Amino acid sequence: MSRFTLPRDIHYGKGTLDVLKTLKGKKAIVVVGGGSMKRFGFLDKAVNNLKEAGMEVRLFENVEPDPSVETVMKGAAAMREFEPDWIIAMGGGSPIDAAKAMWVFYEYPNTTFEEIIQPFSFPELRQKAKFLAIPSTSGTATEVTAFSVITDYAKGIKYPLADFNITPDVAIVDPDLAETMPAKLTAHTGMDALTHAIEAYVSTLHTCFTDPLALQAIGMVFGYLQASYTGDKGAREQMHYAQCLAGMAFSNALLGIVHSMAHKTGAAFKNGHIVHGCANAMYLPKVIQFNAKNPEAAERYAQIATYVGLKGANTQELVKALCDKISDFNKSLNIPSCIKDYEGGMVPEEEFKAKLHDIAALAISDACTGSNPRIPTQEEMEKLLTCCYFDQEVDF
Ligand code: FE
């Protein structure tokens, strides 16, 4: 038995923020991040649209990047006090992820993070409110996914929440909001989207429902990300849709070890974070080489290569052509080829080697590893991460 879940409505296109004018309800709480939505006037526009729809509106502002348990609990308390029948989450991945978790604790005040950490174990939502998400970056696709990541800073734990209950009811994918992204963020979030689509396509949980979405997203990222990076507005619009299609695929097919490795290397080093999308971009060609030792996975990568018009006499050549294409793509987006070169040597070799064993163990136990087409041993994961550090060929 399988399930394929998406939002009830996905409104897309320039100016679709105006759909808020037609929303039916009494009270809406708008959850936003640090201020870019306000600065560019989108927050005011959203609030005015909701008022035009006859709703009483309250704001919950300043959700931080990598939102905390405390922020979630504060937001849930604000919701319990205001009693909205719509939760409107707007901005990058963080405010939308935070609002998803607030929703759970708004509807079930007595539940705990420990109780919902088990994937697909949430209580039945939509008893008090429905959820509408409006993304301003083109990458995480949290507006259409069943996932949210919340950080417990006191315990030093990231809670990856997963349940179709938190798949939003409505997504508004308006490219006007993504036009404000800086170039570097465009590159990183775009490569995150490409990784979502490729990992979903080769996932052990991929289906005939998720495959077309993944392939279409891959084709669009290869077609539009470079122009979007250099500021082409039409390409930026297409990337906003491509990342959403990738999200529809991976929310239902799940991901793989590129994400496991990005999650566990992200905050592991003392001089700073390795940005999620950039980590994915660096690890993706290496993981393809590793997974392609599984013949079924190799066949799937070859299908992707053929779909995007790459040439090769056999499966092996097609897989290599795909890896080369991703590496060239990274170069054109000014993404380094390995951890060693990240941010001018931010991660020293000694620190990497000292932490390698633990990072590899954590990556193997990451929630994304289970659906990867080849499950690495501890030794293999250490070797794979080492190849990602030095930009070495993966031949095991
Ligand atoms: Fe991602």
Contact 304, 215 (CB under 8 A): yes
Ligand 1 center–CA 25 separation, angstroms: 33
Q: Nearest 5°: phi and psi at 91?
A: 130, -150
Residue 114: pLDDT band (50, 70, 90) is: confident
Following CA atoms 386, 316, 259, 309 in sequence, which dihedral angle do they give, to the nearest 10 degrees? 130
Question: Mean pLDDT across the stretch 388-394?
Answer: 97
DSSP 34: S
Residues β-bridged to residue 147: 162
DSSP 144: T
Least confident of 158-162, 357-361, 387-391: 158-162
Contact 140, 92 (CB under 8 A): yes
Residue 110: pLDDT band (50, 70, 90) is: very high
Cα separations in angstroms, 203 against 79, 119, 370: 37, 17, 9
Spatial CA neighbour of 190 closest among 94, 284, 264 = 284
Ligand 1 center–CA 193 separation, angstroms: 7
The three-point CA angle 31-35-37 to 5° equals 70
Half-sphere exposure of 348 (CA within 13 A, CB side): 5
Distance between CA atoms of 123 and 110, rounded to whole angstroms? 11
What percent of the chain is predicted at pLDDT more than 70? 100
Ligand 1 center–CA 263 separation, angstroms: 9
Give the model confidence (pLDDT) of 44-76 as tens digits: 999 999 999 999 999 999 999 889 999 999 999
Ligand 1 center–CA 191 separation, angstroms: 9
Q: Nearest 5°: phi and psi at 58?
A: -130, 150
Residues β-bridged to residue 59: 30
Q: Which pLDDT belongs to residue 35?
A: 86
Ligand 1 center–CA 140 separation, angstroms: 6
Q: DSSP characters for 221-247?
A: HHHHHHHHHTT-HHHHHHHHHHHHHHH
Contact 254, 203 (CB under 8 A): yes
Query: Using alpha carbons only, how large is the chain's radius of gyration in Å?
Result: 20
Residues β-bridged to residue 10: 171
Cα separations in angstroms, 258 against 110, 261, 369: 35, 5, 9
Residue 84: pLDDT band (50, 70, 90) is: very high
Name the 3-class secondary structure at 153: coil
Our measurement of the distance from residue 177's CA atom to the centroid of its chain's CA atoms, rounded to an integer in Å, reads 17
Ligand 1 center–CA 277 separation, angstroms: 6
Burial of 244 (0-12, 13-18, 19+ CB in 10 A): buried
What average pLDDT is seen over the chain? 96
Residues β-bridged to residue 9: 170
Q: Nearest 5°: phi and psi at 59?
A: -105, 145
Ligand 1 center–CA 336 separation, angstroms: 18
Q: Which pLDDT belongs to residue 117?
A: 84
Give the model confidence (pLDDT) of 180-195 as tens digits: 899 999 999 999 999 9
Q: Is residue 157 pLDDT above 80, yes or no?
A: no
Ligand 1 center–CA 143 separation, angstroms: 13
Distance between CA atoms of 46 and 389, rounded to whole angstroms? 44
Give the model confidence (pLDDT) of 202-249 as tens digits: 999 999 999 999 999 999 999 999 999 999 999 999 999 999 999 999
Q: Is residue 308 pLDDT above 90, yes or no?
A: yes
Ligand 1 center–CA 160 separation, angstroms: 12
Question: Mean pLDDT across the stretch 110-127?
Answer: 91
The three-point CA angle 153-154-160 to 5° equals 45
Distance between CA atoms of 340 and 193, rounded to whole angstroms? 23
Q: Is residue 352 pLDDT above 90, yes or no?
A: yes
